[in-house]
Amino acid sequence: MQPLTEQTPKPLLPVAGKPILQHTIDDLRDDIDELYILVGWKAKRLKEGVETYDIPTTFIRQDEPMGTADAVRRVEQYIDGPFLCINGDVILSKESIYSFMDSFKRSSRSMMGLTRVEDPRGFGIIEVDDGSVKDIIEKPRCPTSDLINAGIYGFHESIFQAIKETELSNRGEYEITDSLKILMEKEGLGYNIIKSGDWIELSRPWDLLKANSKVFELMDMDEIRDGEIEDNVHLEGLVSIEEYAIIREGTYIKGPVCIGKGADIGPNAYIRGCTSIGARCRVGAATEIKNSIVMEDSNIPHHNYVGDSVIGRNCNFGSGTKVANLRLDGKNITVTHRGKKVDTGMRKLGVIMGDDVKTGINSMINIGTIIGQGTFIGPGAKATGEIGKNSRIQ
């Protein structure tokens, strides 16, 4: 997810106005007895970044990233009985989580959630037979199944003994899939298939935009109108405005749109559907934003266009900065990400911008550009391709 995760844990990246992890907590908040959240890098930020309401919550630290099985092992001292385990960086529909839980409650063995994908080559595939998982194969060249691990598990306490018997993998980690294979041999492993549309993949930075649109479509979002709305503001569709935000005169917002706490929008700004504006952001006059995520404390002040983009924290756009988001031939947009060419599968994609990026007046950002944190794009300069952090583009 670089450059977005340069300073931010992946579970805190925002989708439809909330951190990824917050969606899971909110979906389950009425039925959680106890909540255990594993933290490591940037632990303090993660603790401060999620709301756990009045749920008894324990944060458990994993100082070294020794794998998912090692993570699960760390809750053994707290667990007495069956428990639900969900990866912190996946988004599942509320209905799919409850369907999984219902299946697990009726089962006497541990279970994993599976989903189907069109191209499973980049995943670990799951082979099943007669209601049981039969094999887990990591990233095969010729997949024999389109089922993959969806990142949700129902465990009985036997998982802890399986983890104790799990050996270090070639990556130097204790893999939960290896522990699951031990369970398969000892007592069998059940599964529940989650509909593809109810599981959202978040592997690459541009996946946030796909997730953002999907979550706006799926979630039962409360329409909050706690901010100040001046006269002659047009709000259409589902528009949520948090406290201390101000929507200034002449602004047109066409939902679904989330406006974060303390944001300042307008006058005469145009915010289009599937856009999430973070806390304390500034969107100024004659600026248009569509289908984008703008993280907190970023400023897109006046005469700017941002489409189909992810803007990191504390970024600042000079007047007249424009983001291109569509190829002239209408074909899919290919990006260079971590040095490799990748077909995003998207016809529209603007910029993926890390934190603390600044652009000068009348600068231009080409389609599918990825900009590392702390970069300066000079006045009238053109940014394109993959740009490393702390770069200077003149």
3 state SS of 138: strand
Strands, E assignment, 64-131: 83-86, 91-92, 111-116, 124-129
> Hey, what amino acid is at 45?
R
What are the contacts of 42-49 at 24+ separation with CB within 8 A? 42/7, 42/8, 42/9, 45/8, 45/9, 45/12, 46/9, 46/11, 46/12, 46/21, 49/9, 49/12, 49/19
Nearest residue to 83 via CA among 36, 121, 23, 122: 36
Give every CB contact of residue 340 below 8 A, 6+ residues apart in sequence: none
The radius of gyration computed from the CA coordinates of the chain, to the nearest angstrom, equals 22
Q: Which spans in the chain are helix H? A: 20-28, 43-49, 68-73, 94-105, 158-164, 176-186, 207-218
d(CA 144, CA 116): 12
d(CA 339, CA 112): 34
Structural domain spans, the chain: 10-202, 218-393
Strands 147-155 and 111-116, how do they pair?
antiparallel
Residue 332 phi, psi dihedral angles, 5° rounding: -60, 150
> Is the pLDDT confidence value at 312 over 90?
yes
Q: Is there a catalytic annotation at residue 302?
A: yes
Tokens of 145: 């199944």
Mean pLDDT, all residues of the chain: 93
Going 171 to 176 to 179 to 184, the CA torsion angle's sign is negative
Residue 387 phi, psi dihedral angles, 5° rounding: -115, 125
Mean pLDDT of 31-57: 91
Catalytic residue among 23, 302, 303, 337: 302
Pick the CATH number of 218-393 from 2.160.10.10, 3.40.50.2300, 3.30.365.10, 2.40.50.100: 2.160.10.10
Tokens of 284: 């100024």
DSSP single-letter state for residue 332: P
CA distances in angstroms from 159 to 58, 153, 171, 338, listed in the order given: 20, 11, 21, 36
- As a whole-number percent, the residues of the chain with pLDDT over 70 amount to 99
3 state SS of 196: helix
Cis amide leading into 9 (omega within 30): no
pLDDT, tens digit (0-9, with 9 covering 90-100), for 272-296: 999 999 999 999 999 999 999 999 9
Beta-ladder partners of 336: 341
Q: Which CATH class is domain 10-202?
A: alpha beta
> Is the pLDDT confidence value at 220 over 70?
no
Kind plus residue range of the DSSP H or E element containing 335: strand 334-337
Predicted TM-score (pTM) of the model is 0.91
> Is the pLDDT confidence value at 183 over 70?
yes
Say which residue the tokens 């489409």 belong to. Answer: 307
Query: What is the pLDDT, as a whole number, of residue 277?
Result: 98
Tokens of 120: 């499973």
Query: What is the pLDDT, as a whole number, of residue 2?
Result: 92
Give the Cα-Cα-Cα angle 112, 118, 120 (nearest 5 degrees): 55
Mean pLDDT of 297-307: 96
pLDDT, tens digit (0-9, with 9 covering 90-100), for 121-154: 777 789 999 889 999 988 777 778 889 999 999 9
